Chain A
Amino acid sequence: MAATDPDKALPRVKDRRRFLAGIARTACGVGIAGLLLGLLARQGGARPAWAIRPPGAGEEADFAGACVRCGLCVRDCPYNTLRLAELGTPVATGTPYFVARDIPCEMCEDIPCVVACPTGALDHGLTEIEKARMGVAVLVGQEDCLNYLGLRCDVCYRVCPLIDKAIKLEKQHNMRTGAHALFIPTVNSEQCTGCGKCEKSCVLEKAAIRVLPTELAKGELGAHYRLGWEEREKHGGPLLPDIIDLPDRMPGVAQ
């Protein structure tokens, strides 16, 4: 190869440098824009607790990648329960949600919102509305709940579409009067769909019972935890055969 003429090589080097600098500039600029977008996406993932997703919506992170924000679910909800988040509200822009205290989900048998969803962001595998898990009702305002105060309001219990399954009244002794019972509205998280009918109908100024996103509402045992009484039942007797079962001592009872 002939030696390159330095006079000619110089501009070529300069050209290449300018070219590479241009690419680097574009890449950096676009990279920064991407970073900002990514951060925005992360922020959008932080859903406020009052924004409940429609039936069949999966984990929040999956939902953000599946929902194209078309609003077809909103259109097909016969009760105008659902709405699309407007820009400037704390819910990820354009995603569907409802506020239980405004309009709860009426648990339509044919689940039109799920049927309407073109992307499957609302899981088409959900065909029985009782299996929906939009959230879990929690009696967060115990101090003000009328039933906790010893009255018989019972409204949340009465309106529940899954009465006596998702929500029950558990009897407790009324320590204040000493003579009556408290009928404590108690939600079973395995049955509650999170429809929000209870929250909507709570007679207080601000609802004592509220639907919360499941991840906020529930605790979780360590995966290695075993409950002794369950293990015992499964096994059909104590797991260690020769263990001596001492009598349980009851307070105030003479042995």
Chain B
Amino acid sequence: MTDNVPSASRGLLARNKWLLLRRASQLGFLALFLAGPLTGIWIVKGTLASSLTLGVLPLTDPYMLLQSVFAANLPATTALVGAAILLATYALIGGRVYCSWVCPINIVTDASHWLSSRFDIPKGWQPKRSLRHWILGMTLAASAVTGAIVWELVNPITLLYRGVLYGVGLAWAVVLAVFLFDLFVSRRGWCGHLCPVGAFYGLVGRFALLRVNAASRAACDDCMDCYAVCPEPHVITPALKGAEKGHGSVILSSDCSNCGRCIDVCDRKVFEFSSRFAQATERSPQPHRKAA
């Protein structure tokens, strides 16, 4: 049932299409930033915290800026515009698209998850998923009290980016700590339970238009592959199994990061990307795989 075993019907590439695209995207963003310092051709300057693309497009991480505002600081227009552009984008395509398609730490925690399921390492500590919202609130409160942007002191995402782009220092140690934390202390712990950046973007994408749709849910044969592969499996149930309760087939939870892993692994082609207003294509249930 591991998602790397190719199925008889679909090739390895088809089973990993979105995963490969995501990795290309995550590494592509890093490459865009790296191109400047490495080759002297400046496409993007800065880091994920704030950047300037082609000398015209400013982008600023809205969560970082929000902390700055809580720290009683009024940011300059460039940063406000940059944050507004990103807010609008993520509000449209799904906040946690940041996690799946941009964040470099996601590669680290996915690797950790792959190892931990491969070697059956116990899941370990599994706090409530709402813990990340508490942490999000805490970082804002702490920013207000100290007058500093506190999450930037430990944020592994920007530490990694700054490390790669400006000199690594001990940043690698923090990234390694996240890896080991997910491996031995809490499976899927960092992104699924703790990271306030993901929590923030989740809230931003609450009403996102781009969503994953269990459109052909009638064809599901309960193999549970999607549950095994999804970093936030609780989001699947209402869409996939909620037909009787009158629940639509679109995954509406803002915890879903639009990673498309469920689309990849499902041999019954149940899932697809769609708008949040899409309906299930209630085609006649296909015969179950086991029965066929």
Contacts and interface: CB of A to CB of B under 8 A. Distances in A.
B251 to A, nearest CB: 26
A65 interface: yes
A140 interface: no
Contacts, number: 163
B91 to A, nearest CB: 21
A124 B153 contact: no
Nearest to B50: A70
A69 B148 CA distance: 12
Contacts of A71: 46-47, 162, 165-166
Interface stretch (B127-135, B237-245, B279-287): B127-135
A69 B162 contact: yes
B149 interface: yes
Interface residues of B, number: 59
B152 A94 contact: yes
B170 A68 contact: no
B278 to A, nearest CB: 36
B126 interface: no
Interface stretch (A4-12, A28-36, A103-111, A182-190): A28-36
Nearest to B168: A86
A47 B68 CA distance: 19
Contacts of A119: 50, 60, 65, 68, 73, 75-76, 78-79
Interface stretch (B8-16, B17-25, B114-122, B136-144): B136-144
Interface of A: 22, 26-27, 30-31, 33-34, 37-38, 40-42, 44-45, 61-62, 64-72, 74-76, 83-89, 92-94, 116-120, 124
Given A68-B149, A124-B76, 14 more contacts: A27-B134, A30-B138, A34-B139, A40-B153, A69-B152, A71-B165, A84-B166, A86-B166, A87-B169, A88-B170, A94-B158, A94-B162, A118-B76, A119-B75
